[in-house]
Amino acid sequence: MKLKGILIQVRDDKAALFQEHICFLEVMDLTPNNLVSYDLISKPKIHWKDIEKFDYVILGGAGHHSVLERYNFTPYLEDLIIKIVDRKKPFFGACYGFQFLAKTLGAKVVEDISRAEVGSFKIYQTKEGLKDPIFSKLPESFWANSGHVDHIDIPPKDMIVLAKSERSPVQAGRVKDTLIYGTQFHSELNRKRLIERLLMYKHRYIPDKESVRKFYTSLKETSEPIKILPAFLKEVSNSLKAYESSSNRFR
């Protein structure tokens, strides 16, 4: 089954917008026709009708933006997230996208530069993660690439925490009884793409020589996180097939 998705992007810089889209296409082995880009900065008034025809929605990272600040797109995106959750539309949030999902549902999100994760960090699955249809395919612990200073400290009540790190207690989660997922780390970034991304935002994440040194020292090859999005697509496809099969039986 050929799925079609939409990637909602929160990027001021056109180069970063393009780079993020390419990263998702690469890791999911898709073409731009299968995963279309929606530029939320230039079109902030997003509505359900803009995503309704797509099989799944991805909300990516945001560079200089923070979920702790409100922008012209914030109320529209909040309303959309609530509809996605209520209607159980398959969704994946990456970094900012995961934070926005969680905060909209009632999570406590904080800025804490002392716990910033910029580079490669060890991720540890929870017991729930090891039983999850997507995360159970990964090792109990693995390296992942990150670039964030905001953290989900307390998840919303309907979110199952799937993974954590030493600095951040909610590294991945899923809304109960849905295919609505998110990761704090970047499931779409390998080592090369992470370097590209952070150099675009170096004034926020690696502003001085010492932070640059720590960043490059931390980098690891991260082969496990890039399996998550293809596994998410497989789960969405299986869900749609099961729904179609069930519908056909009752015709």
Q: Is the pTM of this model over 0.85?
A: yes
Average pLDDT of the residues of the chain:
94
User: In the beta sheet, which residues pair with residue 145?
Assistant: 120
Q: Find the largest Cα–Cα distance for the chain.
A: 66
Q: What pLDDT, on a 0 to 100 scale, did the predictor assign at position 1?
A: 67
21 an active-site residue?
no
Cβ atoms of 100 and 69 within 8 Å: the answer is no
**At which residue do the structure tokens 């596994």 appear?**
231
- Tell me: pLDDT of 246 over 70: no
Identify the active-site residue in 20, 23, 148, 188: 188
Residue range 73-121, pLDDT digits in tens: 999 999 999 999 999 999 999 999 999 999 999 999 999 999 989 899 9
What's the pLDDT at 92? 98
Of 23, 95, 117, 151, the active-site residue reads 95
191-240, pLDDT tens digit by residue?
899 888 888 887 777 778 888 888 888 899 899 999 999 999 999 999 99
For the question of residue 186 being annotated catalytic, the response is: yes
Percent over 90 (pLDDT), the chain? 80
Domains identified in the chain and CATH numbers = 5-249 (3.40.50.880)
- Asked if residue 66 has pLDDT above 60, the reply is yes
DSSP state of 88: T
Known catalytic membership, residue 65:
no
Q: How far apart are CA 197 and CA 160, in angstroms?
A: 29
